[in-house]
Amino acid sequence: MTKEFMFSMLVLLLGVTGIFVSRKNIIAMLISIELMLLAANFNFVVAAQYVDDSVGFVFSMVTLTVAGVEAALGLSILIVYYRLRGIITTSFMSALKG
């Protein structure tokens, strides 16, 4: 069980590192956020299997649904922004402030 939690921590740290390393590339930031959500889901599944309870599996499915919606909305906003501006770096995102 410790190996699984260590793997989850490694994936979480990889996602956090990806956020800080790729601050200019929004698609890489979205992928890093998805990695962090995947690590949390893996923790839920491992903990649910350890305690022999199905609540962790159900919560993991809910979190996966939220992650899918987040990815779809994020990519659709990026596509619309790219069609309007022609560039999708974070330095030009001040136009989204309202």
Rounded-to-integer distance, Cα 93 and Cα 98, Å:
11
CA dihedral for 24, 30, 36, 42, sign (positive or negative):
negative
Overall average pLDDT of the 50-57 stretch:
88
Would the pLDDT of 54 be above 90? no
54: helix, coil or strand? coil
Would the pLDDT of 98 be above 60? no
Would the pLDDT of 97 be above 70? no
DSSP letters of 64-93?
A: HHHHHHHHHHHHHHHHHHHHHHS--BGGGG
What pLDDT does residue 92 have?
Answer: 65
Would the pLDDT of 41 be above 70? yes
- Domains identified in the chain and CATH numbers: 2-97 (1.10.287.3510)
Each residue's pLDDT tens digit, 74-93: 889 888 888 888 877 777 66
